[in-house]
Chains A and B, each alone.
Chain A
């Protein structure tokens, strides 16, 4: 089955810096890669996703890149702000027909003012 590895487990940056979180997956058939943000004590919320027919997707200060050959995808946050502090999870869908997501173990991002 699908296996998703996420790095780093913790990331500390200064406000205004960029942050990059990387994930690798094992199933070459995976074709959907969402990123979720979870603030302390809250629900995971989708912030951006990418499908296998696209190499990069941007939404304001966040972007996701996908390298299907290497089977890895990354989340990029530019001009970080304290409110970006949260745990970020990547995920991959291992089946084409049914969206059974496999999640990474999460990255705790701390943005210091």
Chain B
């Protein structure tokens, strides 16, 4: 049982390039989330999903897209990377809805945009 796995762990991009961050969970969780973490700003929700085939915008969705084609995977895409997207990205998942279950986080992806 690996929990929540994120790939890659590190990436450097040039402005305007695109990339996809992958999150996989093996806990059969319904909910999945993408956060970004910046110094002094805590964790901010980018997008989330309440189940396979669903996605919704969080607090800071601009410049990102997501997909949840399979229950265990949640992908975060940057179509045209900007220096403001330099951050550490965390994926998380949680159990059934309506009961405020704890969120389980992955190890993060450190992304630098030059």
Which B-chain residue is minimally distant from A91 (CB atoms)?
B43
The stretch of B18-26, B78-86, B96-104 in contact with A is B96-104
In the bound complex, do residue A105 and residue B103 qualify as a contact, i.e. CB atoms below 8 Å apart? no
Measured as residues with beta carbon below 8 angstroms from the partner, the interface class of chain B is 20 to 34
User: Are B98 and A103 in contact, CB atoms less than 8 angstroms apart?
Assistant: no
Chain A residue with Cβ nearest B38: A105
Task: Determine the distance from Cα of A28 to Cα of B40 in the docked complex, in whole angstroms.
Answer: 25
Judge whether A44 is part of the interface by a CB distance below 8 angstroms: yes
In contact, B44 and A99 (Cβ under 8 angstroms): no
Q: Are B45 and A100 in contact (CB under 8 A)?
A: yes
The residue in chain B whose Cβ has the minimal distance to the Cβ of A4 is: B42
Chain A positions near chain B (C-beta within 8 angstroms): 6, 9, 31-32, 34, 42-46, 49, 51, 89, 93, 97-106
A-B contacts, 25 listed (Cβ < 8 Å): A32-B100, A34-B102, A42-B107, A43-B90, A43-B106, A43-B108, A44-B90, A45-B105, A46-B102, A46-B103, A46-B104, A51-B100, A89-B42, A93-B100, A98-B97, A99-B31, A99-B100, A99-B101, A100-B48, A102-B45, A102-B59, A103-B43, A105-B40, A105-B41, A106-B42
